[in-house]
Structures are given as structure tokens and as C-alpha cells.
Amino acid sequence: MSRKEALNKLRDVLLTRREALKKALDGDLSMLQSLSQDGGDVMDAAMDTAQDEISSQLVEVESRELTQIEEALNRIRDGHYGDCEICDKPIPLARLQAVPYAISCIECARKQEKISPRMMGEHFS
């Protein structure tokens, strides 16, 4: 698969995820739950603790992710998706596949992490 095809696929992932998050914020977690089988993330952890009721923590996580997804979708529209917003280098596909809304490369995310650890890259070791 070419990088372009991979990025197109990630766009679909982002659009689906955005739908699921919007529904979840409306109180319907079913779509998000069916999506979250693809690997553990912050959302799953929040889901486990929240179960059926939407805790304020979950809403916070969802809203934050939604904002990041909107930003990634904006970058797709501008044609910059997949490039680091800080150093302009292409973001490795492996990172985008793990975090489709990533808008900076790991190196830049790490630098930012030192400033605000909760902003991004928290599931990278």
C-alpha cells in the first residue's frame, strides 16, 4: 500500500471515529464500544471505569480526542495531513496508524510532552 493510500484509509478511520465520539458525547456509547476493540487506549481505560454511565472524565477524554480529530481532518483538507506540524517532516505511518489524529512526529511530540505531558503521545513508550 502506498503512503497516499494509507493516508486515505486513515481519513476514513478518523471520520468513523469522529462519528462514534459525537454519538458517545450524546450518550450513545455503542458505536465507540464496537470501535474500541482494536487496541487498548486511553478511551478504553476510561470506558472500563465509566461502564455505562458517562463520567466527566470520559467526556473530557472524548472532547479532547474529538478536537484532535477535527484538527487532523482540517489538515487533510489543507493537504498537510501526515506531515509534522512542527518540523514539517512526514510522520511515520506506524505512528499515524497507532494515533490517526497525530499531527506531529514522535520526536516533536516528546518535546511538547515535556511541556504538557497530557497533550499527546501518552500511549507511546
C-alpha 82/C-alpha 102 separation (Å) is 8
Question: Helices 3-25 and 56-78 sit at what angle, rounded to 10 degrees?
Answer: 140
86 binds Zn ion (CB under 5 A): yes
CB of 68 to Zn ion, least distance (A): 16
Q: Which is nearer to Zn ion, 63 or 110 (CB)?
A: 110
103 binds Zn ion (CB under 5 A): no
- Which residue, 32, 26, 53, is CA-closest to 44? 32
Q: Which of residues 22-81 bind Zn ion (CB under 5 A)?
A: none
Interface residues toward Zn ion, by CB under 5 A: 84, 86-87, 105, 108
